Amino acid sequence: MTKDSSNMTDKQAMGALKKHGSTIIWVIVAVLAGYFGWEYYQKNYAKVDTVAADMYTNIDERNEVIKLAKQNPDLDAAAQESTAKDEAALFADIDKLVAEHPNTAYAWQGLMLKARHQADAGKLTEAVTTLEQAQTLKLDDQGLAAMTDLRLGRVLLDNNEADKALELANKELPSAFEASRQELLGDIHIAKNDTENAKKAYVAAWEALRERQEQRAVLSLKLQSLGVEVTPITPRTPVVAAPVQVSQPESAEATQEGGDEAEAPAQNLETQNTQMGN
C-alpha cells in the first residue's frame, strides 16, 4: 500500500464513506451467518427443538409476506396499515419465540431479523436494544456472538454512538471476522474524522482479506477514496476434482473444493440467508 494522489479531499472522502458505508456490514454478516448458523445447527443436530423450528418457520413465512409488500412502492394507506400490523405481529411472534425457547439458534435468528426490520425503518435505538438482547443469549458459539457484535457496532455507529461502537469494535473476534472488524473500525474512524486511523484500519482489513485470497469491492473503493493505492488481490482458484467413474457413467459428477472459514456450501448458505431475512 502506498499513498496516491487523489482529486478528492479528505473531507469529501469521509463524506462519501459516511453516506455509502452503512449497509456493508449487514451484507457481510449475512454471508457469514450462512456458515456459522449452519455449523451451529450441525453441532447441535441431536438437540433440535422442533417446536422452536416450527415457530421460526412461521416467522420466516410472515417475514417474506412483509418483505414482498414493502417492495411495492405504490401501497395505498390501507395496505400500509395492514403491513404495519403484520410487522407488529411478526415482532410479537419473535418475542414469544425468544421467551419460550431462549438460547437457541432460532431465537438468535429471530432477533437478527427483528433488528434488521428496525434498522431499515430508522428505529436505530430499538435495533440496538434488540441486538443487545441477542448478546445475552447463551449459545456457546463464537461465530454467532461475533456477528451480533458486528451488527450492533454498525447500528451504534449509524445511531451516532461512535464511541460505543469503537469500544465494541475493539473487542477481539475470531480470525474469520478480522477483516470485517477492521473495516468497521475504519468506518468508525471516518465518523470521528480520524482519517489516518481509518486508513490503517482499512489497510489491515485489506491485508486480512489478502490472506484469505478474498476480494471486497466496497473496501477497495473506501481505500481509493482516501488516496491509498490498492494492490489487487488474486482470488483463490477453486480446485475441481476430476470426474469419478462409477458403474453408471451418467451418475458421475465433479466435486468442488475451496472457500475459506467464512464460506458454506451454496445450498446451506442460501437456506440460512433466507432465514436471516436478507
What is the model's pLDDT at position 237? 73
Q: Which three cell numbers stand for residue 8?
A: 478528492
Query: pLDDT digits over 52-79, tens only?
Result: 999 999 999 999 999 999 999 888 999 9
In tens, the pLDDT along 239-271 reads 555 555 544 433 333 333 333 333 333 333 333
**Residue whose cell numbers read 474524522:** 193
Which residues does the chain have with pLDDT short of 50? Answer: 2-8, 20-25, 45-46, 246-278
What's the CA gap between 233 and 230, in Å, rounded? Answer: 9
Q: Is residue 235 within 8 Å of residue 214, measured between CB atoms?
A: yes
Render 119-183 in DSSP notation, one character per residue.
HHTT-HHHHHHHHHHHHT-----HHHHHHHHHHHHHHHHHTT-HHHHHHHHTS---GGGHHHHHH
pLDDT of residue 242: 52
Q: Three-class SS of residue 40?
A: helix
Beta bridge partners of 228: 3
Q: DSSP alpha helices (H): ranges in the chain?
A: 10-20, 24-43, 50-70, 77-100, 105-120, 124-135, 142-158, 162-169, 178-191, 195-212, 217-225, 266-276
DSSP 3-state assignment of 239?
strand
Q: How many CA atoms lie within 13 A of 212 on its CB side?
A: 19
Q: Would you state the pLDDT for residue 198? A: 98
Round to whole Å and give the CA distance between 209 and 154. Answer: 20
Q: Which domains does the chain have, with CATH numbers?
A: 2-234+267-276 (1.25.40.10)
pTM confidence score: 0.70
Q: pLDDT at position 40, please?
A: 53
pLDDT at 236: 77
Nearest to 222, CA basis, from 192, 186, 172, 170: 186
